Amino acid sequence: MEEELELFDDMTTFELTKEYALQLDQDDRIASFRNRFLFPQKQGIPKTYFLGNSLGLQPVSARLAMAKVLEQWADDGVESFFQGNDPWLNFHGLLVKKLSEIAGAKNSELSIMNQLSVNIHLMLVSFYKPVGKRKKILIESKAFPSDQYAVDSFIKLLGQDPQDILIEVKPSGENQVLQDEDVVAAIHQHADEIALVFIGGINYYTGHVFDMKHITQEGHKIGAMVGFDLAHAIGNIELNLHDWDVDFACWCSYKYLNAGPGAVGAVFVHERHHLDASLKRLTGWWGYKKEDRFLMEDSFVPEPDATGWQLSTPSIFLFACLKASLSIFEEAGWKNILAKQNKMKGWLKFLIDDITSMEEAHVKCLTPDSRGCQVSLFFQENGKIVYDQLTEAGFMVDWREPGVIRLAPVPLYNTFEEVWSFYETLKSILTSSNIKP
């Protein structure tokens, strides 16, 4: 690992000029890592890609990483698991070592496996433990479908009615943003009924970062298990899953971790649960105690850490893609990435505040200050027209009904000048006479 790069100095004021954006880029000590990624293009010109919250860009090294696996397979067949400079059996340990700092976890608490929805089901089997009246599951209203569908179908599989089991927390009043206070109030209101609190660490629609430490503390106080879907959080914000005492978490790796479409996911299981024989689990042979796995015994003996939840032989191709991206994180330095992100989100907020102060804009920012890369802008009118014009101008953002444009400048590959260019373009669109349908 290279020597950690110098952190950005703290800054509380910004200037509303392009020259200032260019100066920020000049001072960016991790700017060169932009060249490690491939950008979609329009007529040979790279587009401005603000969709890391949906699918991260492809690392240049991903193609070579996959080619190497193909070469190993061709040269050594199944022996590639055990021999050569990079035996496949070593991949998991290497990935966990690179990922542990990003997750704020011990190596033993991480298992890289499956994909998000599969892992949610596996975690529900182990950590939903209804007893008597304590049988409710608290989730956020309008959670991402990965959560909503998995929890709903899991409850039905148990022969229960989701309406009897689910507590869906909604934003209080007219606020469209679900607040930490809303979640905590619901935990207290249903204190003797809740078996599991399962929340997205970042709300995919608004970009709000929940206070996971506080929610975990409050959930544990009432005797509930607490888990998080970190699909929009991992590789985006600082996490301290072990210290926060989170019971479990799961995530995909294709957003801010840039591991490719359908990339391998991962789970966090706090170490206090590793040897808990009372936890139910669905098992597979790859989760069997490693040193005895190939004895092919009938009775299952799990590996005594988070890898005991693994099911099947992993996809080495998917591991290779994740390794390509995590190597970039490691080289850039996670603290340096977070430092740039902190400055970039402050810069974006400064510019968005100027936009929303325009009376003619009819736009408000849904995303509170507690956020990562993503900002969600709600357009009271003409939002789809604005989105189409931004797309035509070369910006890759996304549209969510009924009137929200989401964008997520990512510190590893986006620039301050790109953020400025978005601001200028959006302001021009909103003040144009062509905005009306």
Domains delineated in the chain: 18-38+333-435 (3.90.1150.10), 67-330 (3.40.640.10)
Predicted local distance difference test score (pLDDT) of residue 158: 95
Q: Which pTM value belongs to this model?
A: 0.94
Q: Which two three-digit tokens encode residue 63?
A: 């193609």
Residue of 436 and 421 predicted with greater confidence:
421
Q: Which two three-digit tokens encode residue 126?
A: 């182990």
In which band, very low, low, confident or very high, does the pLDDT at 175 lie, cut at 50, 70 and 90?
Answer: low
Res. 279: pLDDT tops 50: yes
Q: What is the mean pLDDT of residues 154-163?
A: 96
Note whether 25 and 416 are within 8 A (CB).
yes
Predicted local distance difference test score (pLDDT) of residue 273: 97
Q: How far apart are the first and last CA of the chain?
A: 54
Predicted local distance difference test score (pLDDT) of residue 10: 45
Q: Where are the alpha helices (DSSP H) in 27-115?
A: 62-76, 91-103
**9-13, 105-109, 246-250: the lowest-pLDDT one:** 9-13
Predicted local distance difference test score (pLDDT) of residue 173: 67
Res. 11: pLDDT tops 50: no
CA atoms within 13 A on the CB side of 61: 16
Mean pLDDT of the chain: 93
CA–CA distance, 133 with 144 (Å, rounded to integer): 27
Instruction: Using DSSP bridges, classify how beta strands 225-229 and 194-200 pair: parallel, antiparallel or unpaired.
Output: parallel
Res. 7: pLDDT tops 90: no
Which of these, 396, 434, 416, lies nearest to 53 by C-alpha position?
Answer: 396
